[in-house]
Amino acid sequence: RLFYNNEKISILKFSKILYKRLNKSFGYKFLKNKKCYLCNNFFFNLFKVINLIIDRLEFYEFFSISFGTRIPEYLIIREDHIRSKYEINYGASLKSFINTNISKILSGVLNKKIDLKKPDLKVIYDLDKSSLEIIPSNIYIYGRYLKLKRGIRQTRQYCKFCKGSGCNECNYTGFTNDPSIEGFLLKEFRDRFLGEVSIFHAAGREDLDVITVNTGRPFIIEVRRPLKRRINLKELEEFLNKVNEGYVLIKNLCYVDRKIMEKINVFSKYDEKTYRLIVKFNGEIDEGALRKIEEELRNRVIIQRTPLRVLYRRVDKYRYKMVYDVKANKIAENLVEFIIRCQGGLYVKELAHGDQGRTQPSIFSITGIPLEIISLDVISVAPELEKRLKIG
């Protein structure tokens, strides 16, 4: 494909000055070299480079672009030597000149915005190797998921035979076939955006036997090196909810940037969460004991040593988490529902049974009555998150 542009490409200011000074100093005209001492004949091949860029960009959807160059060190040394020797202290550097002018040309030809901070595509040309690298920026989609059925993992589990490298047992996926929120979502996001890979990030996690309802749990899907940048998220949301009906429901999908993902990862450790916990006491529990539990745990800092059940994969340390409020409701003689509003990161099951004294205080330590956990539901996760981060 031929490239044509009416704009004349100006030469470096300091090159003009250098040419005049050399002629004045030596009194004769210099013969043309086969290769430019400073730019390695880059400007003689300019149209060829631009046509190469345009051809390579044909497969990408993008709305903004930036152009950069890799200049070999020996050319930088040559440029510095010329500037120093002939006292040239103004004019753009070779790198800056190339980047600025090619950016203008690409913007005009492609009718795309130049964005040096957060471009959809970065185009980098290596002067030494005469090679081109195109780097599409990652896409981030925010949403919330509701886990509607117990027994579903949040993230995929590595194959026990190959530990994730891929084998015949897992059909070379590296993962088991166990259902997971991550498994329900990732492939469809990757395929829709024609990305190389998609990654699941969630604001905290729930156990296998826990459901997440009402507000749902915030999550972000990161799609790396996508060819497409804009799809109908509402249509994707409806499709995923239909094929995963009864297992998971997603809502509020919208585009965000990386900063939102980073903030959510931090906030998930502290943001408010509300749980519905149902326990069965191994003995009679009266209303007085329930009121005592409410009073003892309300606005209380809970000291938790890493639970025994996760000690094999978590460092053994103490955590300090806040319980803001507890409401107890007796639903049978020894069956009680607790609504617990607390800080993110609190191990709620351990708050109930005490984990052999590793969580203090606990419902068990307050009542002295052994108990069994019947069910645990997440009913609210960071309800003000969207408003606080201005999402959607």
Catalytic residue ranges: 207
Cα(364)–Cα(281) distance, integer angstroms: 9
Neighbour-count burial of 324, counting CB atoms closer than 10 A to its CB (0-12 exposed, 13-18 middle, 19+ buried):
middle
Backbone angles phi, psi at 334, to 5 degrees: -130, 20
* Residue 220 · residue 261 · CB < 8 Å: yes
* Residue 255 · residue 229 · CB < 8 Å: no
Nearest to 351 by CA among 313, 314, 305: 305
Element (H or E) spanning 102, and its range?
Answer: helix 94-110
94-110 and 73-85 are packed helices; what angle lies between their axes, rounded to 10 degrees? 120
Neighbours of 384 (CB within 10 A): 9
Rg (C-alpha) for the chain, rounded Å, is 31
* Residue 173 · residue 159 · CB < 8 Å: yes
Q: In angstroms, how far is CA 204 from the centroid of its own chain?
A: 14
* Residue 138 · residue 246 · CB < 8 Å: no
* Residue 21 · residue 30 · CB < 8 Å: no
* Residue 86 · residue 17 · CB < 8 Å: yes
| Amino acid residing at 363 | I
Cα(229)–Cα(17) distance, integer angstroms: 46
Terminal C-alpha separation, the chain: 42
